[in-house]
Amino acid sequence: MMQNCGICYQDQNIVKIECGHLYCKQCLKQLFVKQQELDLDNFRCPLDECRKKLTDKTLSLFIEDFQKKYEQYLKQGVLFGLKDNEKMISCLNKNCNSQFIIWKDADTLKCPYCKLEYCLKCKLERHDGFKCIQALRLNQVTKTRVAFLEQIKSSKFQQICPHCLTAVEKNKGCNFMTCQSKSCSSKKYFCFKCGEPLKQSESISHFENGDSFYGRCNLKVNGKWVEQNKLPQNTIPCPQCLNTNPLNSKIEGNLLICNSELCSDKIYCHFCKIELNNNTILDHLETHKKVKKNFLSPIIKLFFK
């Protein structure tokens, strides 16, 4: 019995799909493969009276080297067994690139692994309150700003004010700078050599031998400026890597910031020995304040009886 394709009525390369209807491989490819990518939004039997949803069993009938290409299809977000309103997507964070299922018509995604949120229309980080075109322009301005700041860093005659991020130029004078921008109003100070924010009283102590013209920059260790060749070891080691080198770890109040090769700029509470992040620092420090207050309150009451 002659078997013909239900679309072109030819009898070459005929395959029977899952619902039992017959089509040639060429017609199936033209229906479901566009620009070398699978278009499976409407992956159903072409017959109007059937329209059964198809799976990878049918796909394997007309895709050559199907097993080799299947992983590629998965990366395109093709996953059989999904509901009509679902699709699989890869996280847009290059350092994550995890795959997960989202609602098909979603405007944004939040990766369940790295937790970053993105706009699916413009592929930028989520930008509530801004249209995509506005976010794209802002992103371009940010890139330009970063490139500008990198250029300033390599200049011998310019430095960025750490208070207002304005470029400041110096062609003579000492390295203790007073920023005269509108924002700082000549009330903010910094070192032109290293860019460290300074107080007015630190115009001498920040520089080796008090020489703000030619002296090396001292480093602040536990609130005091110390010459680079006289740095004491930290009395409190990093809870993670046990580093005590003051060039790699800095103590600020209850916090220890470690920039060793192992920790790479991680923040710890040196009392509790736990790692903190930008979202937990304030709450954690507030807890210590409450503990300290509760501890001192009986002593304070004795003095004021």
HEC assignment per residue over the chain? CCCCCCCCCCCCCEEECCCCCEEEHHHHHHHHEECCEECCCCCECCCCCCCCECCHHHHHHHCCCHHHHHHHHHHCCCCCCCCCCEEEEECCCCCCCCEEEEECCCCEEECCCCCCEEECCCCCECCCCCCHHHHHHHHHHHHHHHHHHHHHHCCCCEEECCCCCCEEECCCCCCEEEECCCCCCCCEEEECCCCCEECHHHCCCCEHHHCCCCCCECEEECCEEECHHHCCCCCCCCCCCCCCCCCCEEEECCEEEECCCCCCCEEEECCCCEEECCCCHHHHHHHHHHHHHHHHHHHHHHHCC
Q: Which domain holds residue 64?
A: 14-75
Q: What does the pLDDT average to over 66-74?
A: 61
User: Which residue, among 201, 246, 205, has the nearest Cα to 225 in the 3D structure?
Assistant: 205
Q: What does the pLDDT average to over 155-171?
A: 85
95-104, 233-242, 293-302: segment of lowest average pLDDT: 293-302
Q: What does the pLDDT average to over 4-17?
A: 88
Asked whether residue 210 falls in the same domain as residue 249, the answer is: no
Asked whether residue 252 falls in the same domain as residue 207, the answer is: no
CA distance 39 to 33: 6
Is 57 part of a structural domain of the chain?
Answer: yes
**Would you say residue 134 has pLDDT above 90?**
no
**Would you say residue 260 has pLDDT above 50?**
yes
Asked whether residue 26 falls in the same domain as residue 60, the answer is: yes
Asked whether residue 305 falls in the same domain as residue 247, the answer is: yes
In this prediction, residue 146 carries a pLDDT of 67
User: Which residue, among 84, 79, 86, 43, has the nearest Cα to 61 in the 3D structure?
Assistant: 43
Asked whether residue 221 falls in the same domain as residue 249, the answer is: no
Q: What does the pLDDT average to over 112-134?
A: 79
The pTM assigned to this predicted structure is 0.39
265 burial class (0-12, 13-18, 19+ CB within 10 angstroms)? Answer: exposed
Is 95 part of a structural domain of the chain?
Answer: no
**Would you say residue 99 has pLDDT above 80?**
no
Q: How confident is the model at residue 263 (pLDDT cuts 50, 70, 90)?
A: confident
Across-strand partners of 168?
159
Asked whether residue 292 falls in the same domain as residue 250, the answer is: yes
Asked whether residue 165 falls in the same domain as residue 211, the answer is: yes
Is 99 part of a structural domain of the chain?
Answer: no
Highest mean pLDDT pick, 65-69, 201-205, 262-266: 201-205
**Total tally of structural domains belonging to the chain:** 3
Asked whether residue 190 falls in the same domain as residue 159, the answer is: yes
